[in-house]
Structure formats: structure tokens, C-alpha cells
């Protein structure tokens, strides 16, 4: 036998609509937002794929710029490969957050595909010597190819401080920046 409260709930159309609204609010909407957030990759490097040569605190180059610096370079040629994220392949320019102590440092940024094949190399020129973190943009012209990794190569007897790399803009299917 059903209670009087339950029978009243079943007969009241407002109560049914309220119950359905609660189900939507607590199940459907959170799932939608979770999927939407999962589809939008972070614009920053999220993993150190590899490093070679003299590198110190490479994990400091991950995520948003925070003033924690990874050092690449020193006594030999050095490189740092950063993964921009699976599913985060992109074709936008890269903003580099860096610090250097000399104007005559000549690192190279390479855009690599998912197989770590070089798509494009960019010589980072006109670097600004500063003890503070400054930025420069490396222009990506390899569209429609998408890169997954970026590699920073620092020549012999030079040192480069890297805080973060960020995708500056995303390109839509027609090549226009978003």
C-alpha cells in the first residue's frame, strides 16, 4: 500500500517536473561540463617528454608561467622536448616565457608531430636579456600540419631559462586564428 505523501507526489505535476529537474541538474549537466572540459586541452606543456645534455629542474617548464625556471644548456648542446598533450595537437603560434642573461644566446624551437618528426624549426632571435621572465612568440607556419611536441635546442656554452610554453592561438579548419 502506498503512503498518502507518495500518492500526492505522483498526482502533482509540479512535483514530477521538480524531480526531473533535479535529475538533470545533478546528473546530465555535470557530465556535459566534464566532457566539455576534457575536450579543451590546456594551452601549456603538460609533460617533459625527454631531455638531453645539461638540464636542471625541467618540470619547472610545465604548466602556466609561475616564475619557476627550467635551465637548459651549459657545457654542451642541450635539448628539452615538451609534450603539449595527447589530443592537444595544435597549429598555433607558441609564446615562450623565458629568462636569459645575455643577448647573444641562439636557441632553436622545433615543432614536432606525434612521431617526433620535425615539422618546422624557428631560430629564436632578438632575445631580451633580463633576470625577470619575459616573452616572445615563435610563429608556426607549418599549417595544416599539427604539432604535438615542441623541442628547445640550446647550443654549446649557452644557457636558457624556460618558465613555460603556451599555444598563443588556435587555428580552425580553414587556417584562421581563433
Q: Are residues 29 and 114 in the same domain?
A: no
Tally of domains within the chain: 2
Q: Are residues 10 and 68 in the same domain?
A: no
Residue 90 domain-assigned (yes or no):
yes
Q: Is the pLDDT confidence value at 168 over 60? A: yes
Residue 175 domain-assigned (yes or no):
no
- The parent domain of residue 60 ranges over 47-167
DSSP track, 73-93? ESSS-EEEEEE--TT--B-S-
Residue 32 domain-assigned (yes or no):
yes
Tell me the pLDDT of the chain averaged across its residues: 82
Residue 125 domain-assigned (yes or no):
yes
Spatial distance between the Cα atoms of 61 and 48, rounded to a whole number of angstroms: 8
Q: Is the pTM above the cut of 0.75?
A: no
Bigger pLDDT: 1 vs 65: 65
Residue 177 domain-assigned (yes or no):
no
Spatial distance between the Cα atoms of 81 and 108, rounded to a whole number of angstroms: 12
Q: Are residues 25 and 111 in the same domain?
A: no
Maximum alpha-carbon separation in the chain: 87
Residue 173 domain-assigned (yes or no):
no
Strand segments, DSSP code E, in 57-154 are 70-73, 78-83, 94-100, 108-112, 118-123, 130-138, 149-154
Q: Are residues 29 and 70 in the same domain?
A: no
- What percent of the chain stands above pLDDT 90? 50
- CATH classification at residue 57: 2.60.120.260
Spatial distance between the Cα atoms of 70 and 86, rounded to a whole number of angstroms: 22
Q: Tell me: the pLDDT tens digits for 31-86?
A: 444 444 444 567 999 999 999 998 999 999 999 999 999 999 877 789 999 999 88
Q: Are residues 28 and 106 in the same domain?
A: no
Spatial distance between the Cα atoms of 121 and 152, rounded to a whole number of angstroms: 10
Q: Is the pLDDT confidence value at 14 over 80? A: no
Residue 21 domain-assigned (yes or no):
yes
Q: Are residues 77 and 152 in the same domain?
A: yes
Amino acid at each position: 500500500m502506498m503512503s498518502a505523501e507518495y500518492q500526492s507526489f505522483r498526482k502533482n505535476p509540479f512535483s514530477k517536473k521538480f524531480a526531473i529537474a533535479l535529475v538533470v541538474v545533478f546528473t546530465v549537466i555535470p557530465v556535459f561540463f566534464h566532457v566539455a572540459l576534457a575536450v579543451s586541452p590546456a594551452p601549456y606543456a603538460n609533460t617533459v617528454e625527454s631531455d638531453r645534455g645539461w638540464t636542471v629542474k625541467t618540470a619547472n617548464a610545465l604548466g602556466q608561467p609561475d616564475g619557476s625556471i627550467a635551465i637548459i644548456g651549459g657545457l654542451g648542446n642541450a635539448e628539452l622536448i615538451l609534450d603539449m598533450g595527447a589530443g592537444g595537437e595544435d597549429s598555433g603560434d607558441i609564446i615562450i616565457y623565458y629568462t636569459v642573461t645575455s643577448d647573444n644566446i641562439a636557441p632553436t624551437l622545433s615543432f614536432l608531430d606525434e612521431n617526433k618528426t620535425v615539422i618546422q624549426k624557428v631560430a629564436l632571435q632578438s632575445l631580451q636579456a633580463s633576470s625577470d621572465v619575459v616573452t616572445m612568440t615563435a610563429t608556426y607556419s607549418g599549417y595544416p600540419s599539427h604539432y604535438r611536441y615542441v623541442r628547445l635546442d640550446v647550443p654549446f656554452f649557452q644557457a636558457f631559462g624556460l618558465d613555460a610554453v603556451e599555444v598563443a592561438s588556435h587555428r580552425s579548419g580553414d587556417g584562421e586564428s581563433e
